Structure 1
């Protein structure tokens, strides 16, 4: 009668062969495809958040530029810059 050792009682999952079976490869590919699909969904959510942020920024800018005091302050600033540049060039107005 032969004695059985621990190495004789290994199951197919415990073999030292590191090459995955075709079924296991398909399973891994399916899992990878699932993760890639999820990533596309996250990108879509990120685009949605970016779009909402852009619309909010544009809305704020429209409200700011509708304010007559702000527009006048901006025009005065532009005039002051042009006058400073012209004076530096010796072309005072």
Structure 2
């Protein structure tokens, strides 16, 4: 999948043009990060722990419902692993 500010491309490694969805008169590509509209290219966004990202394509009428659904999903918090180093692993 490839996403920019105007289009979402599924199976972008193929040349199948039926998998490209771009903003136009009746349909727009909208991106929300943690419930807030994200207006830059999502490909430049650095994902943080527990982020909720919505990529929606359509007339925009169901975005509020999609955001509520996304917010209702439980995030299973997996703690970050902290590397344990012994003194023998450190070279000066």
TM-score, normalised by the number of residues in structure 2: 0.25
TM-score (norm 1): 0.25
Which protein has greater RCO, CA pairs closer than 8 Å, 6+ apart? 2
The structure with the larger Rg is 1
Q: Which has the higher strand share?
A: 2
